A and B are shown apart, each in its own frame.
Chain A
Amino acid sequence: AQSVTQLDSHVSVSEGTPVLLRCNYSSSYSPSLFWYVQHPNKGLQLLLKYTSAATLVKGINGFEAEFKKSETSFHLTKPSAHMSDAAEYFCVVSRNTGGFKTIFGAGTRLFVKA
């Protein structure tokens, strides 16, 4: 079975402070993991992906995520938040072994205070 849990529905940070969005997953197979961002009234944009190469993955706009198999986590981080980072973020687990399957987390809304 495959599942993904985003541990916070809302996260609020001040501009210039670090961002941490938490994601735990479970998968019977070696998963691929993704983070997407969605700004209001827009589609989702791929931020970064892990597909069994380096465990520390760098994405666009200064975001990065670390795949930790022992903790079944794939948390998204950014050293310094910008106002434009305010959006909803989705953690996604996907596989093509044993049948194609893509599962989206419920999303974490990030608020950035000036």
Chain B
Amino acid sequence: KAGVTQTPRYLIKTRGQQVTLSCSPISGHRSVSWYQQTPGQGLQFLFEYFSETQRNKGNFPGRFSGRQFSNSRSEMNVSTLELGDSALYLCASSFWDRALYGYTFGSGTRLTVV
């Protein structure tokens, strides 16, 4: 069965621009979570969507937003990019109860802001 697919794999953007990242979860998974991974901060939770509704949110500024579609695919958007947004963005999908089943992660999108 297909894994979690994230596109694009690599992205280079300029400060001030905006970016949209995409995630297609495993078939049957209705929960999609997004994480930012950096060497200094480790894995930080951005938000989780379940059945097109944001179920949980981390402590990121409003420049970071997301959405989920009826087919469970999710996008996250970062507006007004800053140098500090350079990171690996990971998408993880799960069944409704991720405390029971855990996550399946995508390979990530490596965003570089210059």
Contacts and interface: CB of A to CB of B under 8 A. Distances in A.
Say whether A and B bind each other: yes
Interface of A: 32, 34, 36, 41-46, 49, 51, 90, 92, 94-96, 100, 102, 104, 106-107
A113 B62 CA distance: 45
A58 to B, nearest CB: 15
Contact of B98 (A45, A102, A107): A102
B42 A106 contact: yes
B112 interface: no
A43 B9 CA distance: 11
B102 interface: yes
A102 B42 contact: no
B65 interface: no
Interface string B50-61: 000001100000
Consensus secondary structure, chain B interface: strand
6 contacts: A43-B90, A44-B105, A90-B43, A95-B99, A96-B99, A104-B35
Nearest to A107: B42
B4 A94 contact: no
Contacts of B99: 32, 51, 94-96, 100, 102
Nearest to B91: A43
Nearest to A94: B99
Nearest to A42: B107
B27 interface: no
B98 A44 contact: no
* Residue among A43, A94, A95, A104 facing the most chain B CB atoms (10 A cut-off): A43
Contact of B102 (A34, A42, A100, A107): A34
Nearest to B9: A41
Nearest to A47: B102
B43 A46 contact: no
Nearest to A35: B102
* Residue among A32, A46, A100 facing the most chain B CB atoms (10 A cut-off): A100
